[in-house]
Structure 1
Amino acid sequence: MGSLIFFTVSASAPMTVLAGGVVTTYAVTGSIGVPLSFPILGVALALFTVGYAAMTRYVENAGAFYAYIALGLSRAWGVAGSAVAIVAYNTIQIGLYGLFGWAFSGFAAAHWQADLPWWACALGVWAIVGLLGLFNVDLSAKVLGFFLIAEIIAVLLFDIGGFGHPAGGSVSTESLAPGSLFTSGVGGVFAFGIAAFVGFESAAVYSGEVKDPRRTVARATYVAVAITSVLYAVSAWALASASGKDGLAAGPADPFGMIGQWFGTGLSTAANVLFLTSVFAALLSFHMVVSRYTFAAGQEGVLPRFTAATWRRTGSPVAGSLLQSLAGVVTFAIFAMLGRDPLLELFTWLSYVAAVGVLVLMIGTSVSVLGYFARRDSVESVWQRIIAPGLAAIALIAITATVVVNADSILGAEKGSVLTYVLPGIVAAAVVIGLLWGYTIKLTRPSVYAGIGEGGARQAAALAGIEDLLAQDERIPA
C-alpha cells in the first residue's frame, strides 16, 4: 500500500499544484475560498474510488477509464470515453507547456538575466519530452521519490512560512468560510481543483501487482486522496494568509519570492528548481499517458492501425508519441503567434478543458460501475456496487454542472461569451464523435467492436497474424 500511495501522490505533483494551479486559481477566479474546495472534492473522489477500486479485480486494463465504460455501459460508450480521455490528457499536457514556458522564462530572467520568450522555453522542453517519449524513457521511481520528498518538504516549508508571516499580523480564516467559496468564481475553483487531482486514479494500474487488489488499491487511493486534499487545502490557506485579500487581488502570487523573504534566496532557488522539475515530470508523464491511450485505441481497432505502431528498438508507442508531440507544438505555437498569455490563457483554458473531460470520464465510470455489477453476481457489498458509485455520480454531476455554468469565472471571459461555450463544447464534441464512431464500428466491423475494452487479447493475436486462433480459443468470447 505504501508503494501505491507513493506513486499516486507523485502523479499529482504537489509543487506544480501550489505554484501553478493554486496561484492561477486565485488570480483567475478572484475567489478566496480555494482552500475549502479541496476537501469537498476529496470527499467526491473518495466516493468515486469505492466503485472504481471494486472493478479493478475484474477489468484487465484497469488504468483506462474507457475500459470501465465499455464493459459497464456499452462498447460504443467506451469509444466515446476513449475520445474524451485522449482530449482530456492531451489538453492538460499541452497546457503544462504554457506553465513551464512562463515559469522557466521568469527563472532565467531572475537568475541569469536572460530575456527568453516563453515559447522558446516551451519549445526546448517539448523537444526533450518528445525525444524521451520516443525512447520510452520514464523517470525512475528512485528519482521521482527523491524529488517528491523534496517537493513536499518545500511545500511544507512554504506553509510554515505563510502561517508564520500572515498579512495583517494574524492568520485569517475567511478563506475557509463557505461564503467565500460559493460565489461567482466557484466553477473556476472546482475546475482547477479537479485538474490538481488528475493522476489520483493511477493506483488502479497496479492492481495486478498487489497481494489483495480489492483492498490495497482502494486503501492506497483513499490515503492518497486524503493526503493531497489536506496538503492542497493547507497550502492554499497558507498562501491566502501570507498574501492577504488585497495581495491576492493584485495578481498572481510569487511563492518563491515569499520563501526567499522568509528563509533566504538559497531555499527560494531550490524550491523554484523543484517546481520546474515537477512540471517537467508531469509533462513527461502525461505524454506517456496520451501516447499509450492512442496506442491502445489503435491496437483495438478504434483508431487506424498505424496509431498502434511501435519502435522495434525500444518497444515504445512511436505513432502515439509523435502525434502527441505534433499536437503539442502546433497548439502552443498558435498561442505564441497570436500573442496569448501562456499562464492565464494557454494553461488556464486547456486545464479547464481537461478538468471537464476528467469529470465526464469519472461520471461515466461511476455509472458504469452500477451497470457492470447489476448484470452479474459478485462478492462486493451494496455500498461498493450501488450506494457509493451512485452518490459519486450525483456529486460529480453537480460539480460538472457548476464548472460548466460558471465557465466565465475561470476563462476570464464575459458571461455568455463564445469561449464559455467553445471550450466545454470540445468535450461534448468528443463524446458525440466517439459515440457515433463506436456505433459505426459496431455496424461495419463487429469483430473489432466485440474486442473493445477487453484489454487487447483479441487485438494482440490479430496483430501477430494469428486471427484464426481466435475461433479456436475458448477463453476469448466469440
Structure 2
Amino acid sequence: MSTGRSSTSETGVRSESAGTSGKAGEIRTYKGQDRALRAGRLGTTGLLLSVLAASAPLMVVAGVMPTTYGVMGIVGQPLLFVILGVVLMLFSVGYAEMSRHVHNAGAFYAYIARGLGPTAGAGASVVALVAYSAMQVGIYGILGFEVSGIFATYFDITVAWWIPALVAVVLVGALGWLKIDLNAKVLGVLIVVECALVVIFDVAAIAEPGKEGLSLQAFNPDTLTGAGLGTALCFCIAAFVGFEQAPVYAEETSRPQIVVRRVMFLAVGYAALFLAFSAWALSVAVGPGEIVKVAGEQGPGLLFGLTESRLGSTFTDVLHILFVTGMFAALLSFHNVVARYAFAMGREGLLPAAFGRTNKTSGAPAGGSLLQSAVSVAVVLAFALTDDKPAGDPTAPVLHLFTWMGNVGALGVILLMATASLAVIAFFVRRGAGRTQAGRLVASGLSGLALLVIAFYTVKDFDVLVGAGPGSALSWILPAIIGAAAVVGLLYGAILRSTKPEVHARIGLGNEAFQLEKAAESERIQV
C-alpha cells in the first residue's frame, strides 16, 4: 500500500505522461472540454457566499446553540467558537498554502493523494463522498419537517415531511445542472438576508439584555468545564463546515492561487466572529445564569421566542421562512460539492468515466449531480417508508435522518481535515520545502492534533450526539460507516495500484494531467 509519492517519483510519472510510449503507468486523461470544469466562473464574493451557505448560519443559531446550552450545559459556548476558530485558522494556514500548488475539484482527497500517496487519496475520496452526501441528505429531513410545520401553522394543511423533502431534492438537482455562477447568486441572496436578520436579533438582544445585563461571563474559561465539553466540541465544529470546501471550486475561479486561500481565511474568520457573537447574544438575552435552564426547556424555539418578544411576530414569521431557505442554501452548497467530488473521481478513474463529464451547456458536473440526487431520493424514501409516527412527529425526519446523517458526515469531515493536515506536512517536506514552510507546517501539525482530539470525542460521545441510549448499537454502527468508507477506499486504491497503475498514478492530478497531456501534444506538433 502506498504511503507517499516523492517529488522525484512524481516528476518521473509526469514526464512519462508526456510521452507516447503507452507504457504501464502512463497518464493519459485529456479527452476534451467536457472533462474540465469551466474556469473564471467564480470570484472572491461568489466563492465566499457559496462556502458560507453550507454552514446554514440560522440553523446553527436556532438549533446547535440551544442544544449546546441546554443539553450539554456549556455556558461558555461563545468562547468555544473562538477557540475552534483559532484551531481552524491554524488548519487553514497549511491548507490554503496547499491550494496554491494543487487545483483540483477533489480537494481533500487530491491534497491527501499528493501528500500521502494515491492509495491514501483513494481512501479519502470515498470518505469525502460519503461524508458530504450524509450531511446533505440529513438536511432534507429537517427541511421537510419545518416546511410541513409551516403548512400546518399558517395554512392548516397536513403535509407529510417527506413530500417537501422530495420537492427540495428536485429543485436542488435542477439548480445543480445550471452554471455555478448562477448557483452562487442564489446562495448569495439567501445567505446575506439570513445573516442580516440574525445580526438584527443580536443587536436587539444586546440593546435589551436579560436581568443579568451585558455580562461577559460566557467568555470566562471556567464556563468550559463539565462532562458535556467533548460533545459540545463535536457539535460546534460542525457549525464551521463549509469553509474547507473552497478548494473544490479552484478550477472554476478566476485566480485560484489567490481567491481560494483568501476565501478560506475570510470564511473561518467570519464564521468564528458571527457564531461567537450570536451565541453571546443568546446568553445576554436570557442571562448566563439562566441560559442552560431556559435553552433546555425551549430547545430550537428559544431563538424564535426571543425574537418575538423583542422584534415582533412579523419578524419572527420571516425568520421562520428564512430558516427554511437557509437550509435550502446549505443543501445546494453541499450538492455542488458532492457533484464536483464525483466529477473529479470520474475524471481520474475512481468512478466510471460518465461521472467525469460536464454538462455541455452549463459546464456543471452532470453525472455527479444526478448521482447525488439519486442518493438523496433513495435515503429520504427509506426513512419515509420506515416512519410510523403521526404527521408532525420529528422522530424520523429530525431525530433520525437529520441527526444521524449530520453527525456521520461531521465525523468524516473532521477526520479528513486531520488527515489533510498530515498530508500538507508530507507534501512540502517531500518537495524539500520543509524549512521554508516551517511555520505553516507547525500550524498544520497543531491543528491536526486538535482535530484528532475532537474526532476522538466525537466517536466516544456518539451515543449522546445521536440521542441513543447507553450501550445502543447506533453508537458504533453510525461511526463505522465512515470507517468502512475509509477501508473500502484504501482497498480500492491498493487494487488499482496492482491492476491499473496508470489510473492509480493519476489520482490527485486532476486537471493538471490534462495540461500535461495537451502540452506534450503541442510539443510533438511543433517538432
Q: TM-score range by the shorter chain?
A: 0.7 to 0.9
Q: Which moved more, 1:401-410 or 1:332-341?
A: 332-341
1:451 match = 506
Superposition deviation, residue 78 in structure 1: 0.2
Task: Encode CA deviations 1:360-395: one digit per residue, 9 max, x unaligned.
Answer: 111111101111111113498344442111111111
CA shift in 2, pair 1:349/1:25, >3 Å: farther
Partner of 2:95: 52
Letter in 1 for 2:370: L
Q: Which of 324, 331, 343 is matched with 1:283 structurally?
A: 331
User: Aligned residue for 2:292?
Assistant: 245
Q: Name the amino acid aligned to 2:419.
A: G
> Aligned letter for 1:360?
L
Query: What does residue 187 of structure 1 align with?
Result: 230
Residue 146 of structure 2: aligned partner: 103
Secondary structure of the 1:381 match is coil
1:270 aligned residue: 318
Q: Partner residue of 1:16? A: 59
Matched ranges for 1:308-319 at <5 A = 308-312=356-360, 314-319=362-367
1:123-162 deviation digits (Å, cap 9, x = unpaired): 2212222233345576444443333332222111221333
Deviation at 1:273, TM superposition (A): 2.0
In 1: Cα distance, 2:512 partner to 2:247 partner? 19
Is the 8 Å Cα contact of residues 31 and 180 (structure 1) preserved in structure 2? yes
Paired with 2:91 and 2:299, the residues of 1 have a C-alpha distance of 32
Q: CA deviation at 1:414?
A: 2.6
* Residues 191 and 202 of structure 1, relative CA distance in 2, 3 Å threshold: same
Q: CA separation in 2, counterparts of 1:137 and 1:377?
A: 37
Structure 2: gaps of 5 or more residues: 1-42, 388-394
CA contact (8 A) 1:297 1:303 kept: yes
The answer to whether residue 337 in structure 2 is matched with residue 293 in structure 1 is no
Quote the offset at 1:17 in angstroms: 2.2
Q: CA deviation at 1:317?
A: 3.1
For the 8 Å contact 2:143–2:327, the answer to whether it is kept is yes
After TM superposition, the structure 1 stretch with the greater mean CA deviation from structure 2, 25-34 or 330-339, is: 25-34
- Paired residues for 1:379-458 under 5 Å: 381-458=436-513
Q: Larger Rg: 1 or 2?
A: 2
- Give the 5 Å matches for 1:120-131: 120-131=163-174
Structure 1 residues 364-373 or 198-207, which shifts more? 198-207
Amino acid at match of 1:190: L
Contact 2:346/2:352 (<8 A) preserved: yes
| Aligned-partner SS, 1:341 | helix
Identify the residue that residue 464 of structure 1 maps to in structure 2: none
Matches of 2:437 and 2:359, distance apart in 1: 46
TM-score calculated relative to the size of structure 1: 0.88
Indicate if the aligned counterparts of 1:28 and 1:344 stay in contact, CA closer than 8 A: no
The alpha-carbon deviation at position 52 of structure 1 amounts to 0.7
CA deviation string 1:333-365 (max 9, x = no partner): 222333333223321211111111111111111
User: Which residue of structure 2 lines up, in the alignment, with residue 360 of structure 1?
Assistant: 415
Q: Residues 106 and 125 of structure 2 are in contact (CA less than 8 Å); yes or no, is this contact kept in structure 1?
A: no
Among 240, 245, 251, the residue aligned to 1:202: 245
Contact 1:94 1:350 in 2 (8 A): yes
Q: TM-score, normalised by structure 2?
A: 0.80
The one-letter code of the counterpart of 1:325 is: S
The 8 Å contact of residues 112 and 121 in structure 2, kept in 1 or not, is answered as yes
Letter paired with 1:441: L
CA RMSD between the two structures: 3.0
Q: Equivalents in 2 of 1:295, 1:207: separation in Å?
A: 14
Distance in 2, Cα, partners of 1:80 & 1:349: 22
Match of 2:353 in 1: 305
342, 346, 356: which one aligns with 2:401: 346
Contact 2:144 2:162 in 1 (8 A): yes
CA distance in 2, matches of 1:310, 1:218: 25
Check conservation: 1:56, 1:62, Cα contact below 8 A: no
Q: CA deviation at 1:31?
A: 4.2
Cα-to-partner distance string for 1:100-139 (whole Å, 9 max, x where unaligned):
1122122222222222222222122122222333455764
Q: Which moved more, 1:373-382 or 1:97-106?
A: 373-382
- 1:259–1:404 CA distance, 2 compared to 1 (3 A): same
Taking the aligned partners of 2:171 and 2:128, their CA distance within structure 1 comes to 24
Q: 1:349 to 1:271 in 2, by over 3 A?
A: same
Note the C-alpha offset of 1:175.
4.3
The whole-number CA distance in structure 2 between the counterparts of 1:210 and 1:314 is 17
Distance change in 2, residues 1:128/1:145 (3 Å): closer
Distance 2:256 2:345 in 1: 29
Give the Cα–Cα distance (whole angstroms) in 2 for the partners of residues 211 and 312 of structure 1: 23
Q: 2:186 & 2:335 partners in 1: Cα distance?
A: 18
How far, CA to CA, are the matches of 1:220 and 1:314 in structure 2? Answer: 24
Offset, 1:217: 4.3
The aligned amino acid for 1:387 is V
Give the Cα–Cα distance (whole angstroms) in 1 for the partners of residues 248 and 349 of structure 2. Answer: 22
Does 2:166 align with 1:119?
A: no
Note the C-alpha offset of 1:27. Answer: 5.7
Q: After the TM superposition, which residues 15-164 of structure 1 pair with which residues of structure 2 at under 5 Å, given as runs?
A: 15-26=58-69, 29=72, 31-61=74-104, 64-135=107-178, 139-164=182-207
Whichever residue aligns with residue 241 of structure 2, its letter is V
Provide, for residues 222-261 of structure 1, a one-character-per-residue CA deviation record: whole Å limited to 9, x for no partner: 2321221121122123234435322211142322343222
Q: Is the 8 A contact 2:49 2:187 kept in 1?
A: no
Deviation of 1:303 after TM superposition, in Å, equals: 1.6
The verdict on how the C-alpha distance between 1:87 and 1:26 changes in structure 2, with shifts beyond 3 A counting, is: farther
* Cα distance change, pair 179–347 in 1 and its aligned pair in 2 (3 A): farther
Partner amino acid for 2:160? P
Q: How many residues align?
A: 468
What residue in structure 1 maps to residue 257 of structure 2? 213
Whole-Å separation in 2 of the counterparts to 1:380 and 1:212? 25
